[in-house]
């Protein structure tokens, strides 16, 4: 099915470990986004990309890095995980303002 695929779906990390979350979309969307959602809260934007080879910071970028080497993939990296990064991470993609976003099903990350 066309859409946004996130891997992995679940992960437990120890403090200080690193990992990469992968987001892949097959809709040829230009814009891609990474959000995090903490319990009982709305989504907060971490980083985003307006096209292949571009990335930019959102409202909560500290502790994260991203890359968009291919149009269809947007990677979110945690270089040294901290317990404060325990959250559910969502990836999304879209074309322009006149289109809705398509979200992935999320990655539940726990840092112990």
Partner 1 sequence: DAKTTQPNSMESNEEEPVHLPCNHSTISGTDYIHWYRQLPSQGPEYVIHGLTSNVNNRMASLAIAEDRKSSTLILHRATLRDAAVYYCILRDGNTGFQKLVFGTGTRLLVSP
**Binders of partner 1 among 52-71, rule CB under 8 A?**
56, 58
Nearest to 64 by CA among 83, 80, 44: 80
Reference 34, options 55, 12, 52; nearest CA is 55
Quick check: 63 and 27 in contact, CB under 8 A?
A: no
Rule CB under 8 A: is residue 106 a binding residue for partner 1?
yes
The one segment of 14-22, 66-74, 78-86, 98-106 that binds partner 1 by CB under 8 A: 98-106
Residue matched to tokens 């993939």: 73
Number of chain positions touching partner 1 (CB under 8 A): 25
Cβ 16 to partner 1 shortest distance, Å: 28
Compute φ and ψ for 85, nearest 5 degrees: -95, 5
Instruction: Rank residues 15 and 57 by Cβ distance to partner 1 and give the closer one.
Output: 57
For residue 87, give the nearest of 41, 48, 49, 20 by alpha carbon. 41
The reply on whether position 2 binds partner 1 by CB under 8 A is no
Question: Among the candidate windows 17-25, 65-73, 74-82, 90-98, which touches partner 1 by CB under 8 A?
Answer: 90-98
Q: How many Cβ atoms sit within 10 Å of the Cβ of residue 78?
A: 20
Binding site for partner 1 (CB under 8 A): 31, 33, 35, 41-45, 48, 50, 56, 58, 90, 92, 94, 96-98, 100-106
């Amino acid at each position: 099915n066309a859409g946004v695929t996130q891997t992995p779906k679940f992960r437990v990390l120890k403090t200080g470990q690193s990992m990469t979350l992968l987001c892949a979309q097959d809709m040829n969307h230009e814009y891609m986004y990474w959000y995090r959602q903490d319990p009982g809260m709305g989504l907060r934007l971490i980083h985003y990309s307006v096209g292949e080879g571009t990335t930019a910071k959102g409202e909560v970028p500290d502790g994260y890095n991203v890359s968009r080497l291919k149009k269809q993939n947007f990677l979110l990296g945690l270089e040294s995980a901290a317990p404060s990064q325990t959250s559910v991470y969502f990836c999304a993609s879209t074309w322009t303002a006149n289109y809705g976003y398509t979200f992935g099903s999320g990655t539940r990350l726990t840092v112990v």
